[in-house]
Chains A and B, each alone.
Chain A
C-alpha cells in the first residue's frame, strides 16, 4: 500500500520535472496545431473573427487556386533535386573526413559552417553575386570555354540554383554520416581486403549496408525539411522568375501574411502536412526492408 502511494508520488514528481516542457508543448505546439485544424474550416483573417465555411478552403485549393497545385509540384521538384544531391555530397565529404588526415577537426568545423549561415539575406546577396550573368561562376565557365548561363534569371535553372543552396548546407547530414561511418567495424574492411575486394566494392557491400540506419534517418529528415523549405527560395528569388521557384511554403506565407487569409493558409498547411505524411510513411515502409540494425531493429 505504502509503496503504491510512493510510486504514484514519484510519478507526479516526474511529471513535475517535465512540466515546463509539457506546458510549452501543450500551449505553443499542440494548441496552435489543433486550432489550425479548426481555422482551416473557416474564413479567418487576422483582423476578423472566424466564420465556419466547411470544406470551402480545401475545395478552393484544388479547383480555383491557380498557384497551389503548381507550387506543390515545384516543391516536389525541389525536394527531388536537393535531397539526393545534398545527401550524396554529405556522404562523400563525410567519407573524406573519416580518414586520419592531419587537421581533420578543423575541416569538419569548416564544412559545417554553411549550415550555420543558413538562408540569411547575406547569403542571398552572395548567391546573386556568384550566379548573375557576369558573376564568378559564369566567369569560370567562360574561362574553360563553356557558354554562360542565367543561373537565377532563367526560369529553367533558377530552381536548381536555389536547390544548390540547400546542398551547400550539408553540414548536419555530414555529421550524422560521420557518426555512422565511425561505427562500421574495421574488421569487415580488413576481411574484404584479404578477399581482394576493391574500394568501390567495399563501399557498396560494407559501408552502405552498415550505415543504412543513418541513411534512412537522413533521407526522412531532409525530405521533411525539404518540403517545408521557405527561406532559400524566398530570399534568393522570392518565388520568381515566372514562379519557377514558387514553392508551397511561399504560397502559404503569402496567403497568410500578404493577403491575410489565415484560414485559407491553415488549410494549405494541412495539405502540405498530408503530402509530407504520405511520403514519410512510404519511405518508412521502404527503408524497413533495407535497413540493417545490429540489434535487429527493436530499440
Chain B
C-alpha cells in the first residue's frame, strides 16, 4: 500500500513535470509568433493612455513601430525632440521586434485600439483597406506636406479608393550587391549593365575555374524576385495588372525557369539542396562570408545585412537586364509606411507629428537612414548634406525612379507568393521540368487571379 501510494505520488509529480514541459512548448510557440514586447516599453500602456488629455489640454499620442536597436534609439530621440518643441504633446512609444507585430496591429485596428501613429508594411494595406475605413485619408488634412513625395510613387503605393492612407517612411528598391574583394574585374560597378546571358557566362566560367565558387547567392525567395524582374523586362508590367490579368506568357515563364535550371547545371548557383537551408537567411551562408559567393540581391534597406556587420565590402550593381528590355525590372516600394488609424482621438495632432517626422530637417537628422533612404525629398537632402546617405545609394534610388520602376498593383494577393515559391522549388529540385511547371503555374495562377477578382 505504501509503495503504491509512493508510486502514484511519483507518477503525479512526473505528470506535472510533463505538463510543465507542454506548457513550455506552448510558450515558445507564442513567443515565435505572438508577443511584440521584449524591449520593455511596449503595450501595457494601452489603458493608461486612453484618457490621458486631462491636464490643461495635454495631448497624449501613442506611436507604434517595429525595428532594431538603432531604429528604436533614433525614434525615441526624435520623440523627445518633438516633445521639447511641443510641450503640450506627450508621445508614448510602443515598440518591439517584427515578430507578431502584424497580428497585434490587425487585432488592434479591428478593435479600434491601435496607436495614433502606426508603422505598417505596405503589402498589408490592400487587405486592411478591404475591411473598411480603418485608416485616415491624409488628403483631408492641411497639416501635412505631401508634395515632398514623388506623386506617382505615392499614388502607386499608397492610394486606395482615392484615399492616401499613409506616407512612406523610406524608399526601398531591389538592388544587386557584389563582393568587391572577390569580383575585382571592371565588368562590375554601379554604372555597368550586365545582361542575363553575360551573367550566365561569367558564372559558368568562374565556377569552372574554382568548383567551390558560385556567382550568385540565392535561395527560392531571391530567385522569385529575380524572375519577377526578368518577366517585367519582357512585358513592361508586374506579373499581373490592376484588372487581375496575367501579363506574361507561358513561354516567357518557361524560359525563366529554364534559366534557373541552367544556373544550377552550370554552377552559377548552388544546388537547391544546399541553398534551400538558407531561405530568408542567405547571408548566413558560410560561403558568402568566405567569399565563395559573389553577388546577392537585396532590398536596399537590408544592405547592412548583406555586409554581415561590415565584414564584407559590397558594391552596388545596376539591375541585370538586356539592352532592349521593355521594363527595367526594378521594383520600388516604401520601406514601411506611417499611417493614422481613423479611430484616433486627435487626428490633427497626429498628422502634425507625422509631418514633422517625415519632412522636418531636424527629424531627418535624428532619424538618419534607420528606415531606409528617406522618401521625402527634403529629408533626403539633409542626409546627403550630412554625408549619412551615400551618393551611391541616393543614385540607386533616383535612377530606379527614373528607370520607370515596375508598378505592383495595390491589390490583395492571397497565397500568390507561396504558389510561386512552390513552383520555383519544384524546378530547382528538378521534380518538374521547366515546360511542365510553366504550364501548371500559368493554369494555377490564372485560377487564383480569377478567384481574387471575384472576391473583390
Report A's interface with B, CB cutoff 8 A.
Answer: 45-48, 115-116, 118-120, 125, 128, 132-134, 150, 152-155, 171-172, 175-176, 179, 182-183, 213-214, 217, 221, 225, 230-231, 234-235, 238, 240-243, 253, 257, 259-260, 294-295, 299
Contacts and interface: CB of A to CB of B under 8 A. Distances in A.
B308 interface: no
| Secondary structure of the B contact surface, majority rule | helix
B273 A225 contact: no
10 contacts: A46-B107, A47-B128, A48-B110, A150-B273, A176-B18, A183-B3, A231-B29, A242-B425, A242-B431, A299-B8
Interface in B60-116: 102-103, 106-107, 109-110
Nearest to B18: A172
Could you say which of A133, A240, A243, A294 has the most chain B C-beta atoms within 10 Å of its C-beta? Answer: A240
Nearest to A255: B415
A231 B25 contact: yes
B279 A240 contact: yes
* Top-10 shortest CB links A-B: A153-B273, A150-B273, A47-B110, A47-B131, A241-B276, A172-B21, A179-B10, A153-B276, A176-B14, A46-B106
A295 B17 CA distance: 24
Given A46-B107, A47-B131, 11 more contacts: A46-B103, A132-B274, A172-B18, A182-B10, A183-B7, A213-B11, A225-B25, A231-B29, A241-B273, A253-B33, A257-B33
Nearest to B286: A134
A76 B102 CA distance: 31
B33 A119 contact: no
A238 B24 contact: no
Sort chain B's interface into a size bin: 35 or more
Contacts of B21: 115, 171-172
B10 A183 contact: yes
B277 interface: yes
Nearest to B426: A242
B159 to A, nearest CB: 20
Residue of A116, A213, A214, A260 with most chain B CB atoms under a 10 A cut-off? A260
Interface in B379-438: 414-415, 422, 425-426, 429, 431
Given A183-B3, A260-B127, A47 B106 contact: yes
Of B24, B107, B274, most buried by chain A (CB within 10 Å of CB) is B274
Contacts of A120: 28
Contacts of B8: 299
Contact of A179 (B11, B128, B134, B284): B11
Contacts of B24: 116, 118
